[in-house]
Structure 1
Amino acid sequence: MRRAQNVNMGQYAYDPYGSNSDTQRLAEESEEMTAHLKDKVKALKSLTIDIGTEVRSQNKMLNNMDDDFHKSGNFLERSMKRLGIISKGSHNYHLLILFAFCFVVFLLLWVALKFR
């Protein structure tokens, strides 16, 4: 940006017709800034493309995880229903069988340790 501070001072001297060197210098600066801006736009474009690709892959992974959690939830729900059916069964021998199994295991351990 040009500012006319003093008519007779250096590069800010006011020339009503515009000198060729100032115009040329400003044009070169403009071209340089335009090229720099184009480079930045290209970098931003490639960055946004990379971000879009990453977002799509992350969304795909999240959808796969959602499906896996849904399958796991269904599996657990079926297992809980089966446990409910087993616990509501009319036979009450499962506790007796559990105690007998524990007694036999402890008896075998005692015999093994006693006669070692």
Structure 2
Amino acid sequence: MTTTKNTTMTETEALRADLELTRRHLADTVQQLTRQLNVPRRIKESAASAGHRAVQAAGTAGERAKDSARNLPARAKEMPATARQHPKATAAVGGAVALGVGAAAWIVGRGR
């Protein structure tokens, strides 16, 4: 009977060890699910990531604007020659700009 009792204890210990292992695995799984379902934390991480991307995009846009500003005097000097080469296009663009300014002034005037 001693052998049966030792075998039973060994099986019991094995079951307890297996139970403990299962508990640990379950605890890890619950912890991972909790992290994934933590919506406020995920929103903060997403917002921070979007903020970093916006800062990078603004820096790139700023560099492009600086480059364009540096080239503006040269392009302004080219404009009269371009206008002489394409007078109809220049008139059309000028008319569109005047129409836009007039429409904006009319809308602002109506709001008062």
Fold similarity call, TM over 0.5: no
TM-score range, shorter chain: 0.3 to 0.5
The structure that has the greater radius of gyration is 1
Output the TM-score relative to the length of structure 2: 0.45
Output the TM-score relative to the length of structure 1: 0.43
Greater relative contact order (CA < 8 Å, ≥ 6 in sequence): 1
Greater helix fraction, Structure 1 or Structure 2: 2
